[in-house]
Amino acid sequence: MVTTTAPSPEVINSSSRRYRIPGDQVKRAISELPAEQRADIWWFHCWCSQHDVGNTELGRILRRPGTNEYYSQDSIKQLLNGGRTRRGETVDPIHEAIVGFRKIEDARAEQATSGFIETRLFREIEKRCLKALHRQKILPLFGDSQIGKSTCLEEVQRRHNHGQTILIEVPTGGAQGSLIRRFAEKFSIPASTKQADLKDRIFSAIDGNMLIILDEAHRFFEGRQGSAGVQSLSFVRELYNRCKCGIVLSMTNEGRDHMLNGKHAKALQ
């Protein structure tokens, strides 16, 4: 295993991304594999996507077991796009390489964030998030502004990552189109895809073993009418109905009041 030169994870504009293997394609490629292999390969895909790994870097990550040689970028792409399984080739050796790489990356991530101090707020937020995940429910998370909810949610994602927890910040105004594009970016799905097809591809990349956290969800109720946010929440509801994943809506107390007592309270009930 080696340390790659991949950039630190951050929100990367889809038009400038180097890693372009779509998540829904990977889900199809691994759908017939044993559960452990599915989980580890999906983790690896999400790690590559989060770090925006380019083609050259892709061929400098995984060493073939028992050798000093690396799997080529083509070999890894064939794993992630389903070429190996379509040809009936075993994925056991490359899966072994991924398992070893994951252990190292998990240890590095733990060391890098060992300074995080657990507070009662964090423990309550983590408990709420895991409840949504395990019970496959949509759960709200309310709190005053600027108390550290977002920082706690980032730590929840780190501890229950890669690929299991997807953290998305609701765009200003809460418009459905902008929200869907943010989902697409998370799964390396080209945002240029027609919106109807884009939704289907996003749903194909999500399953009941995943948790979707929507931070700053009070933005759904911004603006005079708030109708854009209601449409976005309809998308969230459709996502839940199709994928049966856990979903957490994190918002301020003002957002809670809009949701429970605002103009669209009946529709959101």
Q: What is the pLDDT of residues 36-54, one digit of tens each?
A: 999 999 999 999 988 899 9
List, in order, residues 6 or more apart from 215 with CB less than 8 Å away.
Answer: 149, 150, 153, 167, 168, 169, 170, 250
How many angstroms separate the CA atoms of 41 and 96, rounded?
10
Residue 223 has pLDDT above 70, yes or no: no
Residue closest to 35 by CA, chosen among 103, 107, 82, 95: 95
How many angstroms separate the CA atoms of 184 and 197, rounded?
11
Q: Are 136 and 247 in contact (CB under 8 A)?
A: no
Domain ranges of the chain: 17-112, 120-268
Q: Are strands 165-169 and 211-215 parallel, antiparallel or unpaired?
A: parallel
Predicted model pTM: 0.80
How many angstroms separate the CA atoms of 251 and 215, rounded?
7
How many angstroms separate the CA atoms of 24 and 204, rounded?
5
Q: Residues of the chain with pLDDT > 90: what percent?
A: 61
What pLDDT, on the 0 to 100 scale, is given for residue 115?
A: 67
How many angstroms separate the CA atoms of 141 and 249, rounded?
6
Report the half-sphere exposure of 209 (CA within 13 A, side-chain side): 13
How many angstroms separate the CA atoms of 137 and 190, rounded?
28
Task: State the CATH architecture for 120-268.
Answer: 3-Layer(aba) Sandwich (3.40)
| Residue-averaged pLDDT of the chain | 87
What pLDDT, on the 0 to 100 scale, is given for residue 228?
A: 76
Terminal Cα distance for the chain, rounded? 51
Please give the residue that has the higher pLDDT: either 68 or 226: 68
Q: Are 104 and 1 in contact (CB under 8 A)?
A: yes
- Confidence class for position 224, pLDDT limits 50, 70, 90: low
Q: What DSSP line would sit under 31-53, residue for residue?
A: TTS-HHHHHHHHHHHHHHHHTT-
Residues 201-223, mean pLDDT to the nearest whole number: 92
